[in-house]
Amino acid sequence: MSYRIGVDIGGTFADFCALDEATGRLATLKVLSTPDEPGREVITGLEELERRFKIRPDEIAYFTHGTTVGINSVIQRKGIRLCLITTEHFVDVLELARLKMPDPYHLMSSRAEPLVTRDRVLSVSERMLADGSVEQPLDPASVRQALARAQALGAEGIVVALLHAYRNPAHEREVKRLIGEWAPGLPVFCSSEIWPIIREYERTTTATIHGYVQPRVARYLASLQQALKAGGVAAEPMVTKSNGGVMTAELGKQACLQMLLSGTAAGVIGASLAARQAGLDKALSLDIGGTSADVAIIIGGAPSYGIGEKVGEFPIFIPTVSVTSIGDGGGSIARVNEFGVLSVGPESAGSLPGPACYGRGGTRPTMTDAFAACGYIGHGNLGYDAVTVDVAKARAAVAAIGEKLGRGIDQAAEAVIQVAVAGMYREVSKLASRQGIDPREFALLAFGGAGPMLGCFLARELGMKQVLIPTAPGVLSALGGLIADIKNDFISTAYYPLAAPGLPRLKREFEALAEQARRWITQEQKFAGTYALQPSADMRYQGQSFEIEVPLSMEAILAGDLDRIAAAFHAEHDRIYGHSDAKMPVHLISLRMVVVGASPQPRFPTQPKRSDQPKPIKEIEVWLDGARRRVPLYRRADLGHGHRFACPCVIAQEDTTTCVPAGFEGHVDAYGNIVLTRTSSNGTE
């Protein structure tokens, strides 16, 4: 027998999915994260898989892993001490950024301090022009001077981001060569090698984030490889990427920028599978874990992609699955400030000490404690028996909030839930306005350890008519990594008109990108299966300030069909903005190529339809909508295809708890998904 293993590590739990390649059987598991000993949770999980499901390490043929080491390094500012080398007179690039307010709704907002502060930004004498020609040769003496200053400042790495290096990287490469000669062992990161895009700030900040986390990510991946090998897993570990694909862990040591958002992206890939399976044309995925809540738009069973997604407080300009952080997680701490205002998060209790109800030393009230205090959880263990819920400790923690608010424990716990939902409502509304969508036309696909707890409450506020709870919502991100394709992106700056004189160059550059893509997937990834090339171009009308990405076909490119390429741009511009002008000249900014190698997909058989009525385990008392109510408690394993049940109710399973207020009715579809349909405009009706 052989198994495919998917692992996703979050702030509280590490999630595991094991797929039997012969039978299609899926085994799932959660173990507590070990933030003080990264990687230990992976070995613990593998030991538990063998103990519970008899999956031996030598039977693991494929292993993929999503990690938060990179993004946590940025959020917690625990990366290496960097210096940045720029072209002379351009040292303020990170400080100036794009001169935009971080939050246009907050007039007193301020930009985050850069990862490389101004005193550690150095310059060298050189000047490359926008066409790639050299106006001023690189002065080696200035490089030596910058290196000496960086060493005096205690630099553990150097990022080199010179003007117009996207067009001609010769000076960046020479700076790297000289530093390697004078200070061997000091890591040097060139912006032109990391992501060679036009626009100085975007290229520089992306390279800076990469350099900031690369050594720590590389060490983590190396320790993971060693631990798996020592544990008897022969398969080369793969890591999930921000673009929704996977790559080898060995490549991830150098291309760590590509995996900063791996966990959130894998969750959306898993949610997209669930949406296709359930036949949802429009869905909003709601992924709530222990520390954060994220939303993505899924249309036609496929996620949206974009650039400029936030990693902590900073944007990265590589292609990623579009995921928007909208709120806090189950471990987010509730507090009352000196003005008597209740807030939830962003501080989280994490895995240690965790929520008070976990009994691991936490005493401050969290969102999970609020649900325990209201009676929704605490009727069994959580996280595959990793946690025993202590309701008394949850109520004691929430009581401290109640005293400050002048409310009882029940009312205070419900207030915590309402504040969290209100914050998510605000952020989803902002996202909907930016994307031009109406949430009422979408279904909410709730997953993660806390997504099913909050999903119906948020959907009720947004006016959404349907909520879908997948069969294994608590480990959907691990499943997403397991089914993700091998995928990579390549880019080349063009910056010339879409016209006949530029046609030979257009063909030549696209062919070069295609060759890079083929070499990457066949030689670096050693992929022997079928793969596809997906070309696109960033284009705009001449005179516009910003461009849009336009999918193209290699057939049209190689045939030199400029009219077809231009028509694709006009159609995409009309789709996004509602207008186009076929008479206006078109400008090419960047050429892109994506290579995708298809991964084997799991087979999920439909369940036989059942004619019996589901029976609850028992009735429990919960505090819901301002009153104590008795509601049925169902075991998820007892609910099968065709079952219908009334709400309000609570549904318990090993990886999460689904809380359903009044105003919904539920049924189970052929794949075992719980479909909750809103029957009234107000849940209290």
> What does the pLDDT look like over 329-364, one tens digit per residue?
888 899 999 889 999 988 888 777 889 999 989 899
Contact 448, 288 (CB under 8 A): yes
Q: Is 388 exposed, middle or buried (0-12, 13-18, 19+ CB in 10 A)?
A: middle
Helix axes 170-182, 140-152, angle to 10 degrees: 60
Q: Can you tell me the mean pLDDT for 472-499?
A: 93
What is the assigned CATH class of domain 486-597? alpha beta
Q: What angle do CA 72, 73, 74 make, to 5 degrees?
A: 90
CA distances from 438 to 255, 432, 462, 509 (A): 37, 6, 9, 40
d(CA 58, CA 333): 42
Q: Which of 95-104, 228-237, 596-605 has the lowest mean pLDDT?
A: 95-104
Query: Is 624 exposed, middle or buried (CB count within 10 Å of its CB: 0-12, 13-18, 19+)?
Result: buried
In the three-class reduction of DSSP (H, G, I as helix; E, B as strand; rest coil), residue 13 is classed as strand
Q: Give the mean model confidence (pLDDT) for residues 515-539.
A: 94
Stretch 642-649: mean pLDDT: 93
Average pLDDT of the chain to the nearest whole number: 91
Phi and psi at residue 575, to the nearest 5°: -65, -40
**DSSP codes joined into one string, 539-562:** EEETT-S--EEEE--HHHHHHT-H
Kindly give, in sequence order, each residue whose CB lies less than 8 Å from that of residue 681, ignoring residues fewer than 6 positions away: 463, 663
CATH 3.30.420.40 maps onto the chain at: 3-73+217-259
Please give the span between the terminal C-alpha atoms of the chain, in angstroms, as a whole number. Answer: 53
pTM: 0.88
CA angle 638, 639, 645 (to 5 degrees): 125
Nearest alpha carbon to residue 146 among 88, 97, 204: 88
- Measure the CA angle with vertex 268, ends 266 and 271; round to 5°: 115
Crossing angle for the helix pair 409-435 and 391-405, to the nearest 10 degrees: 80
Q: How confident is the model at residue 110 (pLDDT cuts 50, 70, 90)?
A: confident
Of 87-96, 239-248, 607-616, 674-683, the range with the lowest mean pLDDT is 674-683
Q: What are phi and psi of 99, to 5 degrees?
A: 55, 30
pLDDT number for residue 685: 41
Can you spell out the DSSP letters for 360-405?
SS--S-BHHHHHHHHTSS-SS-BTTTTB---HHHHHHHHHHHHHHH
301: Cα separation from own chain's centroid: 17
How many other CB atoms are found less than 10 A from the CB of residue 146? 24
Q: Is the pLDDT of residue 584 over 70?
A: yes
Q: How far apart are CA 372 and CA 379, in angstroms?
A: 9
Query: For residue 25, what pLDDT band results from cuts at 50, 70 and 90?
Result: confident
Instruction: Using the predicted structure, report yes or no on whether residue 682 has a pLDDT greater than 70.
Output: no
**Residue 213 structure tokens:** 């986390």
User: Tokens at residue 59, please?
Assistant: 């039977």
Structure tokens at 374: 């209201």
The Cα-based distances of 548 to 166, 303, 575 in angstroms read: 19, 18, 11
Residue 633 neighbours by CB under 8 Å, 6+ apart: 379, 616, 617, 618, 619, 620, 649, 650, 651, 652
Helix, strand, coil content of the chain in percent (nearest 5) = 35, 30, 35
User: Which amino acid is it at 53?
Assistant: F
| Strand 238-240, strand 188-190: pairing | unpaired
Is residue 681 over pLDDT 70? no
Q: Which of 173-177, 384-388, 640-644, 681-685 has the lowest mean pLDDT?
A: 681-685
Q: Which two tokens stand for residue 620?
A: 């429990």
| 28-32, 300-304, 476-480, 645-649: least confident range | 28-32
Pairing of strands 127-128, 134-136: antiparallel
Class of domain 3-73+217-259: alpha beta
Question: Which of the four pLDDT bands, split at 50, 70 and 90, describes residue 684?
Answer: very low
> At 397, which amino acid appears?
A
- The segment(s) of the chain belonging to CATH 3.40.50 are 77-213
**213-239: average pLDDT:** 90
Strands 188-190 and 157-160: parallel
| Domain 77-213 fold | Rossmann fold (3.40.50)
pLDDT at 683 over 50: no
Local structure of residue 95 (DSSP, 8 states): H
pLDDT at 93 exceeding the cut of 80? yes
Least Cα distance to 158 among 176, 133, 140 occurs for 176
